């Protein structure tokens, strides 16, 4: 089965998550071409469309765990101990639902046997479709074994016959025998995953990476189980692809039905937007054809344009005319720009260079490996609001659901997709190669329709591991990455660029100045900030790993401590296996070198301030590094932070904590990643450079304002000039040229004491006067001085909920809001004096009610009502002598 069925109706979620920068929801109709929206026949028949897609077997399941090998068949299963089991789901999700899972100390599920069962009813021939079984699985029907599977990444079809009712049983066997089996000897053994023989088994490394993520191991029917019905028009497989031919978009379709048709009596058409074309019968089961959309609007990453997608409708006429939604599709072109020296890496989308920025995806829910539609949408909204336009699904994770890629299309979010391969020297035998080829082919066929899929990568850090073990290129090459996978990509997705490994390129695979790198110079290697420019990064598929501290609500409510040397805290801090340091130590290094504090002393003398400064330094590092990479003249084509979301509560790599709340680091990125953006860079004796970025397709007329303040309020230098930002451009303006006279912006000449504390550059819309972007430079980052900032906070009720109006009489550094019932849409920002700033408040939720409130809070109909307590909290700034309370 090479083209698993895609059911758009089953993948679309209703939940809408709050944004990081705004509580407003996105209107999905603004991102698709709505042709014939009032077509009554389409609307009427869509009510009956569900029956034409395979029936999901998602109710009535039970599961039970037994010792490895205890039950050879369903006849030997125990009568008691069964749990109700969600499907799709995992053993861990069934235990969580029953209150039997301890996420902090989970049982090693991969080394027992686990059985699932459900009753099937019906009469006649049926096709059972199993989209993913983790990992060594058997399929039994009425006590007879019908199928064995040894990969969690492969879907299976099984033809069965029902005569009333039957018992379907799935057995998930212990991994122990497979891990102990002798295979070819590995040339290197990475310490990332345990045991090293996991290289032989096609399963995710999630749950098997000590120090990186909780040991919740993937076991169970983690993807849907479906039964194809006997309705005449039941869809079997659907294969859709799009391409551009000059200005036109072309959609190709191959649709296979589960049952034969009278091809002479059934006429079919495919509609894309307003364009319609007839389809042809290849045989009694298969419809094929294409439709051309003249002058098709392009799909863009949201930072550069509209992520336009067109609705697709299939119409069948066999005497009764019926219409069926096939979801949507977009048109775009992709190319890789290597630079004049041939060693770079940057994406061109629809012919335009795109600076790709974002983060590495982990999972919306480690327990289910999928998450709910509301959780997925929430993550996408936070990422887009922060200015991200790319997410990377790494080789240590899993292939994501159709819902994930559908949201990527909708939100204009490019996806860098690794195949599920990482770190290992993989077997090269025929059986393993055939399994990976089937896995890759199925994945590419399933996702062929998605415009967001932008880069395909053989795997993560396999070549790097070999190189770091000292192996020369001839001894570390793997034909899997250099021959087999690129051939499959060329056959199945020739429109998507392929790279063999991340990182790759250069004398070493991890060289920063060629190809693709994983940049941790600023980060794990504790390099100074000027290393960012010195390293000449071309594209960082991973970067900037810090133990990012969550807000107080998460620390108190979920982790249970705010003390960074509490065993619960340290157990959650990520570390590299075998290292004598962890990522708390990395963050503390920059706390000391940038802010001039002694982390250990501050931690025990004033733990609250230690946490605030730890949050601030993460935000500052994120913002400063990306400002360097986005500046005019930068060699960098993109960078992705490690990681987007945490898999457990605590000070971890994620920009979003395990409860879905954004951390200070995400807010820091949001201040630097917007499509129309100001950034400043310190050029030493040359002063400050101001970089004006306009990624939009329209010319932007603006007023640039520059001001330098002493004591946070006294203006000592200022300038203003009109600027015009051409479409898709970056320009540099020297602050010295803007001011027109000497001023030691960076305090590099040191002709006496510093004349100022902060430089503020502001970009205003020339027509409206509204601030579009603002950036700050501090010639001295140390935080020893704290002042009365004259900070005031007013609480206002709006039609959308509550907001705070914050104002200060002196420059306020890293303003942040603490409220037991709300989180701030804008947080961890600098505030210039005498400028009122509105901050919308978004209701906080418990983990149990998160999905419900996420959907409510971002709904256009959301209003602050009796269920939302009035705001009451405090506003802090790291240079304020005390907090300001509000209610």
At residue 619 the predicted structure's pLDDT band, cuts being 50, 70 and 90, is very high
Looking at the fold, whether 79 and 219 belong to one and the same domain comes out as yes
- Asked if pLDDT for residue 568 goes beyond 50, the answer is yes
Q: Say whether both 768 and 842 belong to one domain.
A: no
114-161 residue pLDDT tens: 999 999 999 999 999 999 999 999 999 999 999 999 999 999 999 999
Do both 681 and 646 map to the same domain?
no
Tell me: pLDDT of 640 over 80.
Answer: yes
**CA–CA separation, 648 and 657 (whole Å):** 8
Structure tokens at 508: 């070493």
Total tally of structural domains belonging to the chain: 5
Q: Residue 47 — very low, low, confident or very high, per pLDDT cuts 50/70/90?
A: very low
Q: Is residue 10 part of a domain?
A: no
877 plus 838 within the same structural domain: yes
Tell me, yes or no, whether 518 and 664 share the same domain. yes
Q: Are 760 and 836 in contact (CB under 8 A)?
A: no
Are residues 694 and 603 located together in one domain of the fold?
A: no
Which pLDDT does position 867 carry in this prediction? 58
What pLDDT does residue 506 have?
86
How far apart, in whole angstroms, are the C-alpha atoms of residue 754 and residue 780? 9
**Is 338 within the bounds of a domain?**
yes
Which of 228, 244, 275 is the C-terminal boundary of a domain? 228
Summarised one tens digit per residue, pLDDT across range 272-282 is 999 999 999 99
Q: How far is CA 770 from CA 24, 440, 765, 839, in A?
A: 19, 49, 5, 16
Percent of the chain with pLDDT over 90: 84
pLDDT at 20: 29
Confidence at 631, pLDDT banded by 50, 70, 90: very high
Does an H or E element contain 239, and which?
Answer: strand 235-245
Q: What is the distance of C-alpha 723 from the center of its chain?
A: 35
357 and 212, same domain (yes or no): no
Is 6 contained in some domain?
no
Beta bridge partners of 576: none
DSSP per position, 10-34: HH-----PPPSS--PPP-GGGGB--
Question: How many other CB atoms are found less than 10 A from the CB of residue 428?
Answer: 13
Pairing between strand 113-130 and 792-798?
unpaired
- 411 and 519, same domain (yes or no): yes
* Average pLDDT over every residue of 158-167: 96
Per-residue pLDDT at 23 exceeds 60: no
**pTM of the full structure:** 0.93
**Structural domain harbouring 736:** 676-777
CB 403 within 8 Å of CB 13: yes
**66 belongs to a structural domain:** yes
Query: Burial letters for 617-649: b for 16+ Cβ neighbours within 10 Å, e otherwise?
Result: bbbbbbbbbbbbbbbbebbbbbbbbbbbbbbbb
User: What confidence tens digit (pLDDT) does each residue in 704-720 have?
Assistant: 999 999 999 999 999 99
Q: Are residues 158 and 60 in the same domain?
A: yes
Say if residue 66 is in the same domain as residue 94: yes
Q: What is the torsion angle, in degrees rounded to the nearest 10, for the CA atoms of residue 490, residue 493, residue 495 and residue 497?
A: -70
For residue 864, is pLDDT > 80? no
Q: What is the mean pLDDT of residues 59-66?
A: 98
Asked whether the predicted pLDDT for residue 36 surpasses 50, the reply is: no
Region 66-91: mean pLDDT is 97
**In this structure, is residue 239 part of a structural domain?**
yes
Domain with residue 83: its CATH number is 2.60.120.260
Mean pLDDT of the chain: 91
Q: Which of 672, 673, 668, 676 is nearest to 692 (CA)?
A: 676
pLDDT > 70: percent of the chain = 92
Confidence of residue 437 (pLDDT cuts 50, 70, 90): very high
CATH value at residue 255? 2.60.40.10
Q: What is the pLDDT of residue 845?
A: 67
Query: 452 with 420, same domain?
Result: yes
pLDDT tens digits, one per residue of 223-266: 999 999 877 788 999 999 999 999 999 999 999 999 999 999 99
What's the rounded mean pLDDT across residues 329-333?
98
784 lies in some domain: no
CATH of the domain at 842: 2.60.40
- Domain end among 282, 309, 329: 329
Task: Please write the tens of the pLDDT for every residue from 515-531.
Answer: 999 999 999 999 999 99
Q: How many helices, marked H, and strands, marked E, lie in the chain? A: 20, 42
Euclidean distance between CA atoms 543 and 533, whole angstroms = 14
For residue 726, the Cα-to-chain-centroid distance in whole angstroms is 30
Greater confidence (344 vs 864) lies with 344
Better-scored residue on pLDDT, 855 or 307: 307
Residues 259 and 406 placed together within one structural domain of the fold = no
Q: Which residue, of 723, 752, 777, is where some domain finishes?
A: 777
| Distance between CA atoms of residues 829 and 50, nearest Å | 47
What is the domain-level CATH number for residue 501?
3.20.20.80
- CA distance linking residue 547 with residue 563, whole number of Å: 14
- 487 contact partners, CB below 8 Å, separation of at least 6: none
Within a domain: 233: yes
Q: What are phi and psi of 361, to 5 degrees?
A: -75, 145
Put residue 727 in one of left, alpha, beta given phi > 0 → left and psi -120 to 50 → alpha.
beta
* Structural domain includes residue 469: yes
Q: Is the pLDDT of residue 839 over 90?
A: yes
For residue 105, the tally of other CB atoms under 10 A from its CB is: 9
Give the total residue count for the chain.
Answer: 887
Determine the average pLDDT of the residues in 291-295: 98
Both tokens assigned to 540: 């960082």
pLDDT on residue 15: 28
């Amino acid at each position: 089965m090479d083209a698993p069925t895609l059911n758009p109706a089953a993948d679309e979620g209703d939940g809408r998550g709050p944004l990081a920068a705004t509580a407003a929801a996105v209107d999905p109709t603004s991102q698709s071409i709505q042709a014939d929206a009032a077509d009554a026949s389409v609307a009427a028949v869509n009510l009956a469309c569900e029956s034409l897609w395979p029936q999901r077997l998602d109710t009535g399941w039970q599961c039970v765990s037994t010792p490895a090998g205890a039950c050879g068949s369903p006849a030997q299963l125990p009568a008691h101990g069964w749990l109700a089991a969600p499907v799709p789901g995992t053993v861990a999700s069934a235990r969580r639902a029953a209150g039997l899972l301890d996420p902090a100390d989970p049982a090693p599920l991969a080394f027992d046997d686990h059985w699932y069962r459900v009753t099937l009813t019906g009469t006649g021939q049926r096709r059972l479709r199993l989209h993913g079984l983790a990992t060594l699985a058997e399929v039994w029907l009425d006590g007879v074994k019908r199928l064995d599977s040894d990969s969690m990444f492969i879907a299976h079809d099984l033809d069965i016959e029902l005569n009333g009712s039957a018992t379907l049983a799935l057995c998930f066997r212990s991994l122990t025998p497979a891990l102990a089996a002798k295979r070819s000897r590995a040339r290197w053994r990475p310490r990332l995953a345990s045991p090293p023989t996991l290289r032989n088994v096609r399963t995710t490394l999630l749950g098997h990476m000590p120090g990186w993520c909780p040991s919740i191991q993937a076991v169970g029917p983690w993807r849907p189980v479906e039964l194809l019905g006997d309705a005449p028009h039941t869809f079997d497989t659907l294969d859709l692809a799009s391409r551009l031919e000059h200005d036109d978009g072309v959609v190709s379709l191959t649709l296979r039905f589960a049952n034969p048709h009278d091809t002479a009596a059934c006429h079919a058409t495919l509609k894309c937007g307003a364009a319609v074309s007839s389809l042809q019968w290849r045989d009694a089961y298969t419809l094929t054809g294409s439709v051309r959309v003249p002058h098709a609007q392009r799909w863009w990453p949201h930072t550069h344009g509209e992520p336009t997608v067109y609705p697709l409708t299939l119409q069948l006429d066999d005497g009764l005319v019926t219409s069926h939604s096939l979801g949507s599709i977009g048109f775009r072109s992709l190319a890789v720009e290597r630079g004049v020296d041939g060693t770079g890496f940057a994406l061109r989308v629809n012919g335009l260079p795109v600076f790709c920025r974002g983060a590495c995806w982990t999972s919306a829910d480690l327990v289910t490996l999928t998450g709910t539609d509301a959780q997925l949408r929430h993550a996408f909204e936070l990422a887009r609001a922060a200015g991200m336009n790319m997410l990377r699904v790494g080789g240590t994770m899993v292939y994501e659901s159709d819902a994930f890629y559908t949201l990527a299309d909708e939100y204009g979010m490019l996806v860098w997709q690794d195949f599920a391969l990482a770190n290992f020297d993989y077997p090269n035998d025929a059986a393993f190669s055939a399994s990976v080829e089937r896995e890759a082919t199925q994945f590419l066929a399933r996702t062929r329709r998605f415009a967001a899929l932008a880069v395909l990568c053989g795997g993560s850090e396999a070549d790097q591991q070999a190189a770091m073990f000292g192996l020369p290129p001839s001894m570390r090459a793997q034909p899997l990455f250099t021959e087999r996978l690129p051939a499959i990509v060329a056959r199945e997705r020739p429109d998507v660029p392929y790279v063999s490994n991340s990182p790759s390129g250069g004398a070493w695979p991890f060289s920063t100045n060629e190809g693709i790198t994983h940049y941790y110079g600023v980060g794990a290697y504790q390099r100074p900030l000027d290393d960012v420019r010195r390293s000449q990064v071309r594209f960082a598929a991973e970067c900037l790993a810090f133990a990012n501290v969550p807000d107080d609500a998460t620390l108190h409510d979920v982790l249970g401590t705010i003390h960074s040397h509490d065993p619960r805290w340290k157990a959650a801090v990520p570390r590299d296996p075998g290292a004598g340091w962890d990522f708390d130590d990395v963050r503390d290094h920059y706390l000391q070198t940038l802010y001039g504090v002694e982390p250990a002393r501050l931690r025990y003398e004033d733990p609250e301030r230690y946490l605030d400064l730890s949050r601030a330094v993460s935000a500052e590092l994120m913002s400063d590094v990306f400002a360097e990479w986005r500046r005019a003249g930068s060699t960098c084509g993109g960078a992705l932070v490690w990681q987007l979301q945490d898999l457990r509560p605590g000070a971890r790599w994620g920009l979003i904590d395990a409860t879905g709340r954004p951390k200070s680091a995400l807010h820091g990125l949001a201040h630097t990643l917007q499509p129309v953006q100001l950034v400043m860079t310190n050029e030493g004796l040359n002063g400050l450079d101001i970089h004006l970025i306009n990624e939009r397709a329209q010319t932007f007329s603006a007023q640039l304002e520059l001001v330098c303040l002493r004591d946070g309020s006294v203006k000592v230098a200022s300038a203003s000039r009109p600027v015009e930002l051409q479409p898709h451009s970056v320009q540099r303006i020297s602050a010295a040229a803007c001011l027109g006279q000497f001023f030691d912006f960076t305090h590099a000449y040191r002709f006496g004491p510093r004349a100022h504390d902060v430089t503020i550059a502001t970009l205003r819309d020339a027509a409206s006067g509204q601030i579009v972007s603002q950036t700050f430079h501090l010639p001295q980052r140390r935080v020893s001085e704290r002042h009365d900032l004259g900070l005031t906070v007013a609480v206002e009720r709006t039609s959308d909920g509550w907001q705070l109006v914050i104002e200060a009489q002196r420059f306020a550094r890293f303003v942040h809001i603490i409220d037991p019932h709300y989180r701030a849409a804008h947080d961890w920002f600098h505030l210039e004096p005498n400028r009122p700033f509105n901050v919308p408040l978004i209701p906080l939720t418990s983990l149990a009610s998160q999905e419900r409130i996420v959907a409510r809070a971002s709904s256009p109909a959301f209003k602050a009502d009796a269920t939302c307590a009035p705001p009451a909290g405090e506003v802090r700034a790291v240079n304020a002598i005390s907090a300001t309370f509000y209610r």
